[in-house]
Amino acid sequence: MTTTSPQVPTIRLLFSVLVLIAVSLGVYRFYAGLGAATNLNDAFPWGLWIGFDMLCGVALAAGGFVLAGTVHIFGLKKYEPFVRPAIVTALLGYVLAIIGLLMDLGRPWAIWHPITMWQPHSVMFEVAWCVMLYTTVLFLEFLPVVFERLKLVRALRAIRRVMIVFIMMGIILSTMHQSSLGSLFVMMGHRLHGLWFTPMLPVLFLISAVAVGVAMVIFEGLLSGVIFGHRYPARLLGDLAQSLPPILGIYLGLRLMDLNARGALGLLVENSFESWAFIVENLVGAFIPGTLLLSARIRYDRSKLFWCVLAVIAGVVMNRLNVSLVGMMASSPTGYIPSWMEVLITAGVIAGGLLVLSVMIQTLPIRRTPERA
């Protein structure tokens, strides 16, 4: 038997208000245009909706392909209780990222153009197709949850027979576009600050996505226990967290080797806003949690594990915002600060996703974990 926190109705009410405000502002944005609703301009055309809604949203949804690969490809079946929640979260994450992209496009009604107007040499074309295909794959991976809820036994058996194909496709597609998002900024070398510009951005984006995918799965598992009473065993959460120190170590090692190879280590001590942003991003988001999680005493303590994975999530969010916003500021003649409408629309998109997720958790067979300490 599961219990729901008494604060949930109040939180849902607040989220609903945020969603209504965001919808109203979204209507205004489409009616009045980007110029009236945002602080974007020709010198700084990508802002909060790309930097946070798209780049961070896609990265935070990486748990879907990470856990699917871990369980179904590498055969670590003990982590199977995490797969369904990770798939559902990934699906919602990609839908929300697409909504953010629609808000940012100057002509959102033309979003279907990559389907028929092929540009195979374009990184953005590849990202568009991978996102479309992977969102479709995530929907197909989500269907067993629906079929089980509706007791469609034959449909459930049929889709399970081919599920491994969808899982393999999802891993390939997600790997491609997680790295391709980094490729978009490789092409901006003339604008991106030297601390973040590197030909290795695609690799770094992929590795950090894997790390935050694991962190998000643990984070959601811990929150689910507090809010909905679905408590995962502390041992299982801690075992999954064991993968974070080596992933974060590889990530940090590659970053330092890259800075050294490019002769950019001196930028770390220039005492600028960018240098401090870079240090905080890697210290708080990678080095400290990666070091702490080497200790079993930290990994198997729910509260300490929570703060460690939250730091990893914050570090990846900071990285994506540093690459897309902070790293571009010095080369921009105008600068950029998101308008209040951009902020509220983003908050409404997040609130909407959390509302849908909370309803799905309570109405669909997503989590079937025994209540254990």
Question: Which CATH number belongs to the domain containing residue 241 in this structure?
Answer: 1.20.1630.10
Q: Classify residue 258: in a domain, yes or no.
A: yes
Domain of residue 92: give its range: 8-363
Cα of first residue to Cα of last residue in the chain, in angstroms, is 14
Q: Classify residue 2: in a domain, yes or no.
A: no
Residue 203 Cα distances to 72, 118, 216, 357, angstroms:
24, 25, 20, 30
Q: Classify residue 310: in a domain, yes or no.
A: yes
**Residues 107-111: contacts with CB under 8 Å, at least 24 apart:** 108/30
pLDDT at site 373: 42
b or e along 50-74 (b: 16 or more beta carbons within 10 Å of the residue's beta carbon)? Answer: bbbbbbbbbbbbbbbbbbbbbbbee
Q: Classify residue 371: in a domain, yes or no.
A: no
As a whole number of angstroms, the distance between CA 76 and CA 217 comes to 15
Q: Which residue has tokens 């949203």?
A: 57
Residue 115: CB partners within 8 Å, gap ≥ 6? 132
Q: How many domains does the chain have?
A: 1
As a whole number of angstroms, the distance between CA 125 and CA 334 comes to 28
As a whole number of angstroms, the distance between CA 114 and CA 3 comes to 46
- Please give the structure tokens belonging to residue 31: 């009616």
pLDDT at site 4: 63
Q: Classify residue 123: in a domain, yes or no.
A: yes
Q: Classify residue 137: in a domain, yes or no.
A: yes
Torsion sign (Cα): 249, 250, 251, 254: positive
- Please give the structure tokens belonging to residue 266: 């001196």
pLDDT lower than 70: segments of the chain: 1-6, 368-373
Percent of the chain with pLDDT over 70: 97
Backbone angles phi, psi at 44, to 5 degrees: -140, 75
Residue 200: CB partners within 8 Å, gap ≥ 6? 254, 258
Please say whether the beta carbons of 328 and 50 come within 8 A.
Answer: no
Please say whether the beta carbons of 90 and 69 come within 8 A.
Answer: no
- Please give the structure tokens belonging to residue 95: 């839908």
Q: Classify residue 297: in a domain, yes or no.
A: yes
